[in-house]
Amino acid sequence: MFEADLGTSRTIELRYPTIQVEDITLTPLTGTFTAIRNSKGIYITGPLHSKMESECARCLDSVTVPITIQLDDLFYYPPYTAPPGEFVVGEDGFLDLAPLVRELSLLEIPMQPFCRPDCKGLCPECGQNWNEGSCDCEKDDIDPRLAALRSLLD
């Protein structure tokens, strides 16, 4: 692609059943993106689709979260120097997409993923998963820090 004229593009299809990117596992990673040569490097753009394992914010069970990663970045190559934090084309001419895919994957995880919309969560006293059944803990709607105020109601 380096010898190609400016504006030359190539469509690249990814189909990985499972891929490990440092501490993240993406199963599967699929999609099609376009690599375009410009005067400073190779610009890549396009969507990738995958699923990641996470924890339910209410019950802490494992949950599979679908994600869409939108590639939209420039990989610089010599003689241009990449600004700090930007990506470069390797000396071997390959683009290492792993750091970019990892970064974008982490940004796509919801702040509070749920195993299901009606997840009941955990008992704050004994830790029982309320999705699996109730517990014998006494229901007390008063915050323990304010329990002394209860005596004023008596």
Residue 2 in domain: no
pLDDT at 46: 96
Reference 94, options 116, 73, 77; nearest CA is 77
Check pLDDT > 60 for residue 147.
yes
Bond into 79 cis (ω within 30): yes
Q: For residue 149, what is the DSSP state?
A: G
Residue 25 sits in the same domain as residue 78: yes
The span from the first CA to the last CA of the chain, in angstroms, equals: 81
Residue 87 sits in the same domain as residue 149: no
What's the pLDDT band for 148 if we cut at 50, 70, 90?
confident
Host domain of residue 34: 9-117
Check pLDDT > 60 for residue 2.
no
Q: Is 124 exposed, middle or buried (0-12, 13-18, 19+ CB in 10 A)?
A: exposed
Check pLDDT > 60 for residue 117.
yes
Mean pLDDT of the chain: 88
Name the residue with higher pLDDT: 116 or 146.
Answer: 116
For residue 22, what are its two tokens?
Answer: 């440092």
pLDDT at 44: 95
Q: What percent of the chain has pLDDT over 90?
A: 58
pLDDT at 39: 87
pTM of the model: 0.76
Position of tokens 């993106």? 33
Strand partners, 117: none
Residue 67 in domain: yes
Q: Going by DSSP bridges, is the β-strand pair 87-88/62-76 parallel, antiparallel, or unpaired?
A: parallel
Digit-coded pLDDT (tens) for 68-109: 999 999 999 877 788 888 888 888 878 899 999 999 999 999
Number of domains in the chain: 2
Residue 65 sits in the same domain as residue 22: yes
Sheet holding 62-76, edge to edge: 9-16, 29-37, 41-55, 62-76, 87-88
Residue 104 sits in the same domain as residue 142: no
Name the residue with higher pLDDT: 120 or 5.
Answer: 120
Residue 54 in domain: yes
